[in-house]
Amino acid sequence: MTTTRRNRYLSGRFAPVTEEVTAHDLPVTGRIPSHLDGRYLRNGPNPLGVEDPATHLWTLGAGMVHGVRIRDGRAEWYRNRWVRSGSVADRLGEPRRGTRVDERLDISPNVQVAGFAGRTFALIEGGIRPYELDYELNTLGPCDLGATPEGYSANAHSLFDPHTGELHALAFRYGSDDVQHIVMDAGGTVRRVRTDRVPGNPYMHDFALTEHHVLLFDSPVVFSPAHLATGVPFAWDPGRGARVGVLPREGDGAVRWFGLAPGLVGHALNAYETGDGRIVVDVVRHGEGFDIRDVGASRPTLDRWTLDLARGTAREERLDDRVQEFPRVDSRRTGRPHRYGYTAAVELYAAPAGPDDDRPAEGFGNALLKHDLERGTTEAHEFGRDGTVGEGVFVPAESSVAEDDGYVMAYVFAPERAATDLVILSARDFTGEPLARVHLPVRVPVGLHGNWVPGAEPRSGDPAVTVTRSARALD
């Protein structure tokens, strides 16, 4: 007798949801800080249809943005909305929105959602255009944020520099050796574009800024046409090394490369200049043999690189050897010295116990970590055995002075309700009881990246809970 094991990325905490829901006046346990005024938003893959469930990968699927509106100590609404690329609109039986784009690149952004210049954007990478959303997360259409004549645009990990008001993007395209550093002013207008060649088309998912430099992460993970059919066209090249490049934010100086041990930067925490000719870079680094189909197998850890610009050397050290990902810093410290960082624990599981074991080979854990990089200590806030938690976003408190005077927000699965809570932790009392749990009426699948986007819109008098659309996610 033969049994077929379920695809674990289509079940359990990863399982896509099939409805768009709008809920108002959400119940709260605890107290939301009264000065918070804005939206907590997060994006992630949520497929509407899967051609081959046996080979489906979690990172594939249309983007779905989940958001909670907070004001005056209340959680006014929760919404989840698919990002309507042309194909998503077609599947939902709706008219396409905005200008038509190349069908080959008409992909629903599923990696990041961010606010900039008073607008909201769903973002991805690889030359795929961002989509603009309205305040209530409805899709307006593809947009030209960071667009250059060569077809590049703002990517998923674009970085806002709070000291200059600029938005920076490091954009690559599948199949091209060119990488562009794109700088936009506070209104979203492109003011500078620099193009550099990085032979071999490495997967440059993230980058970092300092006050005067941009840092590029080259690695053995490269574009592979042979893997196009899998939907994830990247492979590990064992003959290729890893290095970090330092290029000036202004001017035309050449990129300076510093060699590193083989590995891939999953995400950068932050980088800064020390004032004595060195640059410190904190990253989550994946070890040799990284494979996006089994991310946890490469055991990502929090590492630090110190680049000595005068000597041309790089020193590598391990800051925390726990398996972790999704590093975040107080965004006010972007490109400047930081003391604290926040990451999400990653769990590694043994082989499946049987055909109904829906645990992923690697997956999100049940803890957020706070790193004090000055003292070299780490605190863990655990959410219980089944309290799966994703990326934690730092939000500063009102009139905060200390770097950790603020809150960490994250979606956490609440097993007793089979639904999800938006949890607000005190960053200073990190292991204490949450300040607030906003109880959502539905489960939010584990996802990728998001942000706290401050800012208000006219109040709404909509009713309590409505299902605005139902669609089959798994055909």
46-84 pLDDT, tens digit per residue, is: 999 887 887 788 888 999 999 999 999 999 999 999 999
Is residue 436 over pLDDT 70? yes
pLDDT value of residue 85:
95
44, with CB counted inside 10 A (0-12, 13-18, 19+), is buried
Pick the closest to residue 158 from 203, 209, 202 (CA basis). Answer: 209
447, with CB counted inside 10 A (0-12, 13-18, 19+), is buried
Q: What is the pLDDT of residues 351-369, one digit of tens each?
A: 444 445 545 445 688 999 9
pLDDT value of residue 473:
36
**CA-to-CA distance for 60 and 63, rounded, in angstroms?**
9
More confident residue, 51 or 335: 335
DSSP, collapsed to helix, strand or coil, labels residue 74 as strand
Span 425-432, mean pLDDT? 98
**CA-to-CA distance for 286 and 390, rounded, in angstroms?**
18
The percentage of the chain sitting over the pLDDT mark of 90, rounded to a whole number, equals 72
Span 28-38, mean pLDDT? 98
Span 340-360, mean pLDDT? 65
Q: What is the pLDDT of residues 111-156, one digit of tens each?
A: 999 999 999 999 998 888 999 999 999 999 999 999 999 989 999 9
- List CB contacts of 202: < 8 A, sequence separation 6 or more: 172, 218, 219, 220, 221, 222, 223, 240
pLDDT value of residue 475:
33
More confident residue, 401 or 182: 182
pLDDT value of residue 401:
87
pLDDT value of residue 294:
62
More confident residue, 57 or 44: 44
Least confident of 128-142, 386-400, 420-434, 444-458: 444-458
pLDDT band, residue 456 (cuts 50/70/90): confident
- List CB contacts of 311: < 8 A, sequence separation 6 or more: none
pLDDT band, residue 395 (cuts 50/70/90): very high
Span 365-384, mean pLDDT? 96
pLDDT band, residue 108 (cuts 50/70/90): very high
Continuous segment of H or E residues that includes residue 89: helix 86-91
Q: What is the pLDDT of residues 4-19, one digit of tens each?
A: 456 777 888 889 999 9
The percentage of the chain sitting over the pLDDT mark of 70, rounded to a whole number, equals 89
Span 96-109, mean pLDDT? 86
What is the value of pTM for the model shown?
A: 0.92
Mean pLDDT of the chain: 89
Query: Which residue type is seen at 82?
Result: W
Is residue 233 over pLDDT 90? no
pLDDT band, residue 412 (cuts 50/70/90): very high
Tokens 């094991």 locate to 5
Span 450-471, mean pLDDT? 63
**CA-to-CA distance for 430 and 404, rounded, in angstroms?**
10
Q: How far is CA 248 from CA 171, 175, 209, 215, 393, in A?
A: 16, 25, 10, 9, 29
More confident residue, 40 or 467: 40
